[in-house]
Structure 1
Amino acid sequence: MTGIAVLGSTNMDLVAYVARAPKRGETVTGRDFHTIPGGKGANQAVAAARAGGDVSMIGAVGADDFGSLLRRTLESSGVDTDLLRTAEGPSGTAHIVVDDEGGNSIVVVPGANGHVTSLAPGDETLIASVDTLLLQLELPLSAVLDGAEAARRHGVRTVLTPAPAQPLPPELLAAVDLLIPNEHEAAALAGVFDPPAAAQELLRQVPEVVITLGSAGCLYAARDTPPLTVPAPRVTAVDTTAAGDAFVGALAVALGEGRPMREALAWASAAAALCVQRPGASPSMPYRPEIDAAYASHTAGPRS
C-alpha cells in the first residue's frame, strides 16, 4: 500500500448554493446551505485514503466542535490523525458559494491552520517513512517549506498544489518534485496564460508539472520529455469545490503504485470526475472501486 503523508489544512466548509454568485455589493437569495468538512489538506488526505493509500495527516484543528468533527471525518475515511494537533481557538473555515453551473468562489479563514508554522516533534519521522508528501498553501509558508525540505532530505516524493495562488520562494520550489496547479495558478506562477507555455516556464523551477484544466482534462510536462495531454471524462458538474484535491489524492496513490504517467493521470481524472458530480468537499471523494469502474468506462486502458 502506498504510504502518503499530507501536511495541510483542515477547514469546515460553510457552503451556500445559489442560482448565480452575487456580484460585488449585491445580495442574492440562496436555495440551500450545508456545513461540510473540507480544507485542501484534509480533502487530499481523504481522497488518497479512499483511493487506496495508507495516509497520515499533519496539521491542526481548533478546540471547538468543528475540530472534533473534522478529526472524526478524517478517521472515518481511514486517515491516521495521530499528528493532527488541537490548537487553541477556532478551527479553520471556508465560506463557499456554489452556483447552478457547479462553479464556486471561496473565502478561507485559517483559524487553527495558522498555528502550524513549522514541523512539530514526530512530523519529520513520519514524513521520512512514506513514499509521498502532499503539500498545499493553506498553511503558513514556513511550515510548507519545512515539510518540503524534510521530504527532500529523506528522498520522499514531494507534490505541491500551489493554492491559493501566491508567489513562492525559490527554496520551496527547489524542494518540489511535482507541481500541480490549475490553469489560473499556473498562469500566476509562470506569468504566461497559455498552459503549454506556462508548463515549460515552470519546468525551469521544478522537474515535473501537471496543469489541471477542468473539463478539458490535464497537461503533463517534464524536462526532456514530450508534453502529454489527458482528457477528462464528460460529466455534468454539481459542485467543483474539491475536484483538484480528488485528482491530487488519487494521482499520488497511482504514482506510488508505479503506474505509467498516462494511466495515472487518467485514473486521477476519473476520480475528479466522480467528485464534481457530488456536493461538498471531503465527503464527495470517491472510493477505489468507483474510480476503477469510472476509469474502465472512460478509457481504453486496462482496469486497475
Structure 2
Amino acid sequence: MTRLLCVGLATVDLVYAVDHIPAADEKAQATGFEVAAGGPAANAAVTAAALGADVTLVTAVGAHPLGDLIRSDLQNHGVRVMDVSPESSAPPPVSAITVLAGTGQRTIVSRNAGDVLVRVPQGGLPDADLTLVDGHHPALAVAAARSARRLVVDAGTWRPVFAEIFPFAEVVAASAAFRHPAEAAPTDEALAAAIGAPHVLVTHGPEPVRWFSGTRSGAIPVPAVTAVDTAGAGDAFHGALAVALTGDPPHPDKSDLSDFIVFAVRVAGVRVAHAGPRAWLAALPRPG
C-alpha cells in the first residue's frame, strides 16, 4: 500500500448550505449544516485515504476542544494524524463556508494558521513514498520538502515559503490565481517557467488543466458536471493526483503526467457533483 505524507493545514469547517448569499445586515436561514475537518492538506489526505492510500497528516491541532472535531473526523476517514502542537490551548483555525444551492459556488471566511508557530518534531517526519505540502506551517513545509522522496506542492496562493520548497518539488500544482513574484507575465507559460519544477500544472476551475513537463506541454479538458458544491474540489484534485503519481490502483499504471491529471480531474468532478464535505466519498471507485 502506498504511504502518503500530507503536511499542512487542518481546520474546523462549518459548512452552511443556503438558497441565496445574504447581503449586508441580512440574516439567512441555512438549508443544511455540517461540521468537518478542512484545510488543503487535510482534505487532500481524506481523498487519498478514500482512494486506498496509507495516509499520515502532519499538522497542528492542539488541546482545545475544537481540535477533537478535527481528529475524530480525520481518523474516521482513515487518516492518521501527527499533531506537532499537542499541548497548545489555542483554538485551531476555523472556516465558515457558505455554499449556494443550485450553483455550488461558495464563500469562505477563515482565519488560517499564519500566526501559529510550530516546530518540527525532534524525531523528524515519517517516511513516505510521496509527500504533499500546502505551504501552511512553513517550518513543517520546509522540513517535509527536504526529507521527501518525492514532493508534490499544492500552490493555491503565493506564500514566501514556496521559494524554499519549489527547488525540491517534482510536481507543483498551481491554481490560475497563483502569482509568482518572478513571473514575467500573467500567463501559464510564464508561471511554469518561474516555478521551475520538472512538472508544473495549472488548474482553471471548469476550464482545461494546463501542464508543462520540460519542453512538453498540453491541456486536459475538464468534463462538464452539474456543480452542486465546489468547496474543496481543488484539494480533492491534489489528493487524487498524489495517489495517481504513486502508481497504485484504482488508476491505470501509466507514466504520462497527463494520465495522472485525467484521473485527478475525474475525482474532483465527483467532489463537485455532491453536496457536503464527506458524502461524495461514497461515490469514489473503491480501492483494490
1:92 equivalent in structure 2: 93
Secondary structure of 2:284's counterpart equals helix
Secondary structure of 2:110's counterpart equals strand
Q: Label 1:218 to 1:143 Cα distance change in 2 as closer, same or farther (>3 A).
A: same
After the TM superposition, which residues 131-210 of structure 1 pair with which residues of structure 2 at under 5 Å, given as runs?
131-137=129-135, 139-151=136-148, 156-186=149-179, 190=183, 192-195=185-188, 197-203=189-195, 205-210=196-201
Partners of 2:180 and 2:105 lie apart in 1 by 19
Alignment deviations for residues 220-263 of structure 1 (CA, whole Å, 9 cap, x no partner): 11112x21211122111111111111111111111101533222
Q: Label 1:285 to 1:56 Cα distance change in 2 as closer, same or farther (>3 A).
A: farther
Partners of 2:10 and 2:162 lie apart in 1 by 24
Q: Label 1:167 to 1:27 Cα distance change in 2 as closer, same or farther (>3 A).
A: farther
After the TM superposition, which residues 59-70 of structure 1 pair with which residues of structure 2 at under 5 Å, given as runs?
59-70=59-70
| Conservation of the 8 A alpha-carbon contact between 2:61 and 2:85 | yes
Secondary structure of 2:218's counterpart equals strand
Query: Are positions 1:106 and 2:108 aligned together?
Result: yes
| Conservation of the 8 A alpha-carbon contact between 1:187 and 1:194 | no
Q: Which amino acid aligns with 2:104?
A: G
Alignment deviations for residues 72-104 of structure 1 (CA, whole Å, 9 cap, x no partner): 211122212255642322122112222232122
1:286 equivalent in structure 2: 281
Secondary structure of 1:217's counterpart equals strand
Alignment deviations for residues 136-162 of structure 1 (CA, whole Å, 9 cap, x no partner): 13x2323322221222xxxx1111112
| Conservation of the 8 A alpha-carbon contact between 2:8 and 2:134 | yes
TM-score, structure 1 length as denominator? 0.81
Q: Which amino acid aligns with 2:54?
A: D
| Conservation of the 8 A alpha-carbon contact between 1:239 and 1:278 | yes
The Cα of 1:215 is off from its aligned counterpart by 1.2
Of 238, 244, 249 in structure 1, the residue corresponding to residue 234 of structure 2 is 244
Partners of 2:202 and 2:180 lie apart in 1 by 10
Query: Are positions 1:228 and 2:218 aligned together?
Result: yes
Query: Are positions 1:277 and 2:273 aligned together?
Result: yes
Segments of structure 2 that go 5 or more residues without pairing to the other structure are 248-252
Partners of 1:99 and 1:277 lie apart in 2 by 13
Q: Label 1:75 to 1:189 Cα distance change in 2 as closer, same or farther (>3 A).
A: farther
Q: Label 1:78 to 1:228 Cα distance change in 2 as closer, same or farther (>3 A).
A: same
Secondary structure of 1:246's counterpart equals helix
Q: Which amino acid aligns with 1:276?
A: V
Which of the two has greater helix per residue? Answer: 1
Partners of 2:234 and 2:146 lie apart in 1 by 24
Alignment deviations for residues 246-295 of structure 1 (CA, whole Å, 9 cap, x no partner): 111111111101533222111111110001122333x25536x73479xx
Q: Indicate the RMSD between aligned Cα atoms, in angstroms.
A: 2.7
Identity of aligned residues (%): 27
Q: Label 1:159 to 1:17 Cα distance change in 2 as closer, same or farther (>3 A).
A: same
Partners of 1:133 and 1:114 lie apart in 2 by 24
2:202 equivalent in structure 1: 211
Q: Label 1:42 to 1:223 Cα distance change in 2 as closer, same or farther (>3 A).
A: same
